[in-house]
């Protein structure tokens, strides 16, 4: 076990995800037929030998608790340490409303952070689809003399992101906030390796100054005081899920075998809660083109460019194109769906026709019956 402790941010309200997060956090969103978004940071930590991890939550976290359980799937079910759920239990002023920023979320669980026995902390976003080689990132951090190492990507993401501008000495000299396109510097993945004492100092300074944001406030304070920040570049797919379109596109990206191999490499497996189900049944009339289909489904209709989660039922004559059907979804005879995200336990009666488009997929909320 390494001298590193993980912290995952799973508190984000993310209103741009609309109906998808009405009863869950972004970190617990289902992904690619069998996973949840939080599986990726948890698996990255497990694969790097980090077995103590806290998950910062705030509201709508029942789905997350059900999925994580004791942490056994990630080898984090332990009598001492292991996986810990962190609802807001800090100062009274942090108990109302949504967290204004990451520093406020950290200060809300400051007593937990101060008791961490390890010397270094790895901070990761709970809604980032990326299989990060944290072992390599830690080696990079330990080889230098910086207190913070920012994990960046090699490809500019679709949405807003921060860019880290590196000077001739190899250290970060400034951060360009909320960029939407290519430009100078490297796009950040909102993941950091930081010395625990440095993190606590930044938390205390920001609290004393009524500052709440990690990037705009804490990291700029650190750099302006002459602090050294290194970068590690993650090579491969990375996508932070903040909007319905990003969620839809990230799932559809997994239909590309090359991108899927970047997210699910054999040498760094993505772990998730295990369900023991029967194999999927395909009827004589079933057609599945360029689709990912989980187990325990019954497929008798036609699927094209779809991702289907376990327990789905697609009846004879139903035609689904460019859809995401989550667990327990039902499409009865002659249903026609295109560019639809059907949340958990939705059902479509015979003859239903619904269509969104690639830029604005239609979201059918959890448990809806049409």
State which fold the 281-364 domain adopts.
Answer: UDP N-Acetylglucosamine Acyltransferase; domain 1 (2.160.10)
- Domains 4-263 and 281-364 belong to one CATH topology: no
Residue 95: pLDDT above 60? no
CA proximity to 213, closest of 80, 101, 289? 101
At 158 the pLDDT is: 78
At 155 the pLDDT is: 86
Q: Are the CB atoms for 327 and 347 separated by under 8 Å?
A: no
Q: Which residue has the tokens 């400051």?
A: 110
At 333 the pLDDT is: 97
Q: Higher confidence at residue 270 or residue 59?
A: 270
Distance, in Å, from the CA atom of 254 to the CA atom of 139, rounded to the nearest integer, reads: 29
At 89 the pLDDT is: 61
Q: Which residue has the tokens 């799937």?
A: 73
Digit-coded pLDDT (tens) for 64-93: 999 999 999 999 998 888 999 998 765 445
Q: What is the average pLDDT across 195-216?
A: 95
At 79 the pLDDT is: 83
* Mean pLDDT lowest among 80-89, 148-157, 249-258, 279-288: 80-89
CATH number of 4-263: 3.90.550.10
324, β-bridge pairs? 307, 341
At 93 the pLDDT is: 52
Q: How confident is the model at residue 338 (pLDDT cuts 50, 70, 90)?
A: very high
At 276 the pLDDT is: 74
Q: Higher confidence at residue 12 or residue 43?
A: 43
Q: What is the average pLDDT across 338-358?
A: 96
Domains in the chain: boundaries: 4-263, 281-364
At 96 the pLDDT is: 53
Phi then psi dihedrals of residue 160, to 5 deg: -65, 145
* Mean pLDDT lowest among 36-50, 180-194, 330-344: 180-194
At 97 the pLDDT is: 61
CA proximity to 238, closest of 351, 143, 346, 159? 159
Structure tokens at 335: 């249903």
Q: What is the mean pLDDT of the chain?
A: 93
Is residue 38 classed as helix, strand or coil in its secondary structure? coil
pTM for the model: 0.94
Task: Please count the CA atoms within 13 angstroms of the CA of 147 that sit on its side-chain side.
Answer: 15
Q: What is the average pLDDT across 224-248?
A: 95
User: What is each CA distance from 132 to 40, 137, 234, 266, in whole angstroms?
Assistant: 8, 8, 6, 13
Digit-coded pLDDT (tens) for 118-133: 999 999 999 999 999 9
121, β-bridge pairs? 5, 194
């Amino acid at each position: 076990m390494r001298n590193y402790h993980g912290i995952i941010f799973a508190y984000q309200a993310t209103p741009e995800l609309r109906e998808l997060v009405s009863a869950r956090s972004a970190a617990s969103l289902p992904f690619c037929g069998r996973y949840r978004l939080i599986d990726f940071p948890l698996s990255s930590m497990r694969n790097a030998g980090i077995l103590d991890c806290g998950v910062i939550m705030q509201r709508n976290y029942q789905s997350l608790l059900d999925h994580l359980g004791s942490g056994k799937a990630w080898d984090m079910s332990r009598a001492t340490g292991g996986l810990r759920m962190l609802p807001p239990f800090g100062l009274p002023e942090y108990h109302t409303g949504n967290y204004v920023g990451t520093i406020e979320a950290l200060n809300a669980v400051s007593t937990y952070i101060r008791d961490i026995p390890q010397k270094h902390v790895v901070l990761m976003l709970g809604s980032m689809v990326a299989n990060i080689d944290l072992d390599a990132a830690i080696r990079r951090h330990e080889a230098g003399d910086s207190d913070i190492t920012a994990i960046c990507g090699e490809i500019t993401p679709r949405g807003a992101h921060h860019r880290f501008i590196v000077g001739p000495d190899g250290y970060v000299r400034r951060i360009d906030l909320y960029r939407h396109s290519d430009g100078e510097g490297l796009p950040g993945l909102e993941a950091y390796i930081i010395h625990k004492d440095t993190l606590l100092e930044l938390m205390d300074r920001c609290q004393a100054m009524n500052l709440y944001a990690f990037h705009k406030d804490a990291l700029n304070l650190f750099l302006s005081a002459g602090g050294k920040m290194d970068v590690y570049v993650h090579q491969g797919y990375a996508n932070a899920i903040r909007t319905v379109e990003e969620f839809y596109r990230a799932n559809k990206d997994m239909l590309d075998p090359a991108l899927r191999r970047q997210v699910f490499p054999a040498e760094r497996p993505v772990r998730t809660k295990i369900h023991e189900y029967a194999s999927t049944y395909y009827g004589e009339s079933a057609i599945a083109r360029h689709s990912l289909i989980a187990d325990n489904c019954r497929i008798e209709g036609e699927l094209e460019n779809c991702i289907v989660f376990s327990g789905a039922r697609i009846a004879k004559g139903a035609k689904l194109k460019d859809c995401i059907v989550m667990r327990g979804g039902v499409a009865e005879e002659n249903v026609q769906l295109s560019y639809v995200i059907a949340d958990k336990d939705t059902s479509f009666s015979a003859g239903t026709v619904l269509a969104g488009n690639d830029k604005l997929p239609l979201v059918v909320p959890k448990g809806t019956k049409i």
